[in-house]
Amino acid sequence: MNESIPGVHSDPEILGGTPVFVGTRVPVRAMLDYLEHNRPLAEFLDDFRTVDRVLAGTINLWGAVEVQVFRPAKESALQKIIHLIREAQRKKAPAQEFTDKFGTTYTYTILALSLLIVFCLGLVDAIGETLRDTLVQLTTPDHMRGRVKSFDQVFMSAGTYMGDAQMGAAASFIGVPGALIRGGCVGSAAVLMVAKFARSLRTLDV
């Protein structure tokens, strides 16, 4: 037995010269038998507690581990899973790609259109209110102008809150989209009815 192997020695007076672990009568061959029969090293150390654990784990000078590779690592199941995960991370859903590509432009466009709509609504409301006040002042007899104007102010002040209450009630029953559509239809119908049955307003001579 090679005496240069640390932790192992051979003494003719111990097991007839069989190589053993230093300080024990445990032959090195016993550990090799465990490993050859696919029994873990920990089991050997539990069975032979006099053998130093660090020493037993470092002795591997009597054999070599042979590994046979049947396919490249990139063809293994684990590598395929990793590849699929990376591909999924690189790819994006169509909606996300659209958002990333046109998100900024879309946001600024919607903001500009919203501001334009708000401006137009305010402009139309201002024009309508001016026309309404002008017609009330010019078509109402002098002795009734104060009472008519007061009634108009009460109606306009309360009308906004009544409309809000009606829209809120409608939204609670049929939802916000349905309430908005309903309000638009009612408003459009009212304008069409006035245009049809109050044609004199178109040719009002003041």
The helix-helix angle for 176-197 and 145-174 (nearest 10°) equals 140
Percent of the chain exceeding pLDDT 70 equals 83
pLDDT tens-digit series, residues 152-177: 778 777 777 777 787 788 888 888 88
Q: Tell me, what's the pLDDT at 116?
A: 92
pLDDT tens-digit series, residues 12-35: 888 877 888 777 878 878 888 887
Beta strand segments in the chain, E: 8-9, 20-21
Query: Region 113-124: what's the mean pLDDT?
Result: 89
pLDDT at 205 over 50: yes
pLDDT tens-digit series, residues 72-92: 767 777 777 777 777 777 776
What sign does the dihedral 43-48-52-56 (CA atoms) show?
negative
Q: Tell me, what's the pLDDT at 21?
A: 78
**Is 135:204 a contact under the CB 8 Å cutoff?**
yes
List the end-to-end C-alpha distance of the chain, in Å, as a whole number: 130
Show the tokens assigned to 127. 């024009």
Q: Tell me, what's the pLDDT at 151?
A: 80
- Extents of the domains making up the chain: 8-58, 171-206
Give the span between the Cα atoms of 178 and 98, in whole angstroms. 29
Percent of the chain exceeding pLDDT 90 equals 2
pLDDT tens-digit series, residues 33-57: 887 887 777 777 777 777 766 555 5
| pLDDT averaged over every residue in the chain | 76
Please state the pTM of the whole predicted model. 0.38
Q: Tell me, what's the pLDDT at 1?
A: 44
- Per-residue pLDDT band at 104 (split at 50, 70, 90): confident
Give the span between the Cα atoms of 56 and 19, in whole angstroms. 13
Write the Ramachandran bin of 51: left for phi over 0, alpha for psi from -120 to 50, otherwise beta: beta
Give the span between the Cα atoms of 46 and 132, in whole angstroms. 103
Show the tokens assigned to 47. 């069975």
